[in-house]
Amino acid sequence: MFNTETGNDLLRAKAFLESSEIVAIPTETVYGLAANALDVSAVVKVFQAKNRPSFDPLIVHTDKLEKVRSFVQALPPQASVLAEAFWPGPLTLLLPKKEIVPDIVTSGLPNVAVRIPDHPLTLSLLSMLSFPLAAPSANPFGYVSPTKAGHVMDQLQGKIPYILDGGESTVGIESTIIGFSGTDVIVYRLGGMSVEAIEKLVGKVTITLQSSSNPQAPGMLISHYAPRKQVVVGKISELIQQYNSEEIGILSFRESYYGINAEHQMTLSATGDMEEAARHLFASLRKMDNLPIKVIITELVPDHGLGRAINDRLRRASGK
């Protein structure tokens, strides 16, 4: 049991990580729960703190492409193009790992998920370390991902020694995960880098979002990113008729609804801005989870750009 501290002391975070402890770190996507990716005993602590099943692989974070080459066997030509264009940023690449990466990080799979996060505090921390960091989202497994240090404290207080506070995540949803098969580019998880932006550089991609109990990449389980309360996705105006108005909360894209307590309604973006909607998604689900309601009613957003990733998270939050 730890007396969990929050601060922006990079040397303190570094000391914990170098002593095989785990530290919550900020990124532009969500907060991560980080450990030395090359230290099996440290990585085990991540799984224990999150109550995460060992068959769900982790993403490895570092700060320079040259460092990535030290723990992967090769970068396919398309991977190099994407890395040069979008790193640091919300893009993860699945690459063949070297033996230096423990099997526990990849759940025994031959590929390791790698990215360079776009957050100045965490990039500084990574530049100070002689090892990369394995870091899934800093929350109990399957629950809504944290986008503020306070979210991490709410869920993991006592389980970790330190939370590096870098403010609110600017993207708000996890990274897009890309894999490669021959000349094919495959999207395994929709996220903070739009498919359209990726296709501008590498041409048409294949989107493979199967929900699996033996995932090929992080974030592919059918029920994930879920609050404790039931989430129902559909046409809000119709769903309202099916429930007692006092029992429901509404998470809409842009609209408010008459006859429902205003305090039980949240909009992702009143102006229809998809980046703002993505940034607000997880924090809104967390707030609704703490309201005196039984059901969260929500709707899909326009299915383009970051809207695809938002819809993916809403479907997984509802277990569908």
pLDDT tens for the 320 residues of the chain, in order? 899 999 999 999 999 999 999 999 999 999 999 999 999 999 999 999 998 877 789 999 999 999 999 999 999 999 999 999 999 999 999 999 999 999 999 999 999 999 999 999 999 999 999 999 999 999 998 899 999 999 999 999 999 999 999 999 999 999 999 999 988 999 999 999 999 999 999 999 999 976 554 456 666 555 677 899 999 999 999 999 999 989 999 999 999 999 899 999 999 999 999 999 999 999 999 999 999 999 999 999 999 999 999 999 999 899 86
Res 302: pLDDT? 97
Q: Which residues, listed in sequence order, are joined to residue 207 by a DSSP beta bridge?
A: 187
Rounded to whole angstroms, the Cα distance separating 150 from 290 reads 14
- What does residue 2 show for φ and ψ, rounded to 5 degrees? -105, 155
* Residue indicated by tokens 């402890």: 21
Residue among 225, 223, 227 at smallest CA distance from 295 = 227
48 CB-near residues (< 8 Å, 6+ apart)? none
Q: Give the whole-angstrom CA distance, residue 320 versus residue 302.
A: 18
pLDDT score, position 149: 98
Q: What pLDDT is attached to residue 213?
A: 46
Structural tokens at position 61: 């974070």
b/e burial code for range 20-34 (CB count within 10 A of at least 16 → b) = ebbbbbbbbbbbbbb
Segment holding 224, helix H or strand E = none
pLDDT at 209: 77
Domains of the chain and CATH, by start: 5-174 (3.90.870.10), 230-317 (3.40.50.11030)
* Phi-psi domain of 20 (left: phi exceeds 0; alpha: psi -120 through 50; beta: other): left
Q: Which residues pair with 59 in a beta bridge?
A: 113
- What is the pLDDT at residue 224? 72
Helix, strand, or coil here: 59? strand
Decide: residue 214, CB within 10 A, 0-12 exposed, 13-18 middle, 19+ buried: exposed
| pLDDT, position 159 | 96
Q: Which residues contact 284 (CB under 8 A, 6 or more apart)?
A: 251, 266, 268
Lookup: tokens for 166: 């870098």
| 192 contacts 29 by C-beta, under 8 angstroms | yes
Distance, in Å, from the CA atom of 190 to the CA atom of 9, rounded to the nearest integer, reads 33
Sequence-distant contacts of 49-54: CB under 8 A, at least 24 apart: 49/22, 49/156, 49/159, 49/160, 50/136, 50/139, 50/140, 50/141, 51/140, 51/141, 52/136, 52/141, 53/141, 54/104, 54/107
Instruction: Say whether 141 sits in a helix, a strand or coil.
Output: coil
| C-alpha span between 32 and 21 (Å, rounded) | 14
